[in-house]
């Protein structure tokens, strides 16, 4: 029988994006059943939020989180999606999330989000 990872007994850290009411956020989540240690996120391209004033990819939460409990989510608001796209920020947010469990096993998750999907669904709204 092939060796299949048991997600019920390990950490699983993902990078997710959320667009609610036209507002873009990026989230680091441990959706696994165990704590994740030494979590690092390396983005393919840098991107900014808050009108271009905040370097999202340089934030400490993405450089290194020593301990991330099961179910823990760190969410950072980025911008209204319309404004983000209008500034010509990357429309693909892609990153590699690395971490380990308490036994020392290391994991790497490669995750990519195409924000054009949200634009196509009409999620971008002009904010006045």
pLDDT for the residue numbered 22: 92
Within-domain flag for 54 = yes
CB–CB of 59/35 below 8 Å? no
Q: Is 37:99 a contact under the CB 8 Å cutoff?
A: yes
Q: Is residue 32 part of a domain?
A: yes
Environment class of 13 (CB within 10 Å of its CB; exposed 0-12, middle 13-18, buried 19+): buried
CA-to-CA dists, residue 119 to 26, 91, 93, angstroms: 16, 10, 14
Q: Which domain holds residue 18?
A: 7-117
In a domain, 13, yes or no: yes
- CATH code, domain with 76: 2.60.40
Is position 96 within any domain?
Answer: yes
Q: How far apart are CA 7 and CA 27, in angstroms?
A: 20
Tally of domains within the chain:
1
Tens of each residue's pLDDT in the chain, 128 residues: 455 555 568 999 999 999 999 999 999 999 999 999 999 999 999 999 999 999 999 999 999 999 999 999 999 999 999 999 999 999 999 999 999 999 999 999 999 999 999 998 887 766 54
Look at the pTM and tell me if it is higher than 0.85: yes
Residue 78 lies in a domain: yes
122 lies in a domain?
Answer: no
């Amino acid at each position: 029988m092939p060796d299949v990872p048991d997600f019920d007994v390990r950490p699983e850290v993902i990078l997710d994006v959320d667009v609610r009411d036209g507002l873009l956020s990026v989230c680091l989540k441990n959706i696994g059943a165990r704590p994740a240690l030494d979590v690092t996120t390396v983005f393919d391209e840098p991107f900014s939020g808050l009108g271009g004033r905040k370097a999202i990819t340089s934030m400490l939460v993405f450089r290194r989180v020593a301990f991330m409990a099961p179910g823990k989510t760190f969410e950072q608001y980025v911008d209204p999606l319309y404004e983000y796209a209008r500034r010509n920020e990357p429309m693909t947010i892609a990153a590699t999330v690395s971490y380990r469990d308490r036994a020392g096993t290391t994991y790497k998750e490669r995750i990519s989000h195409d924000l054009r999907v949200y634009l196509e669904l009409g999620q971008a709204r002009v904010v006045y």
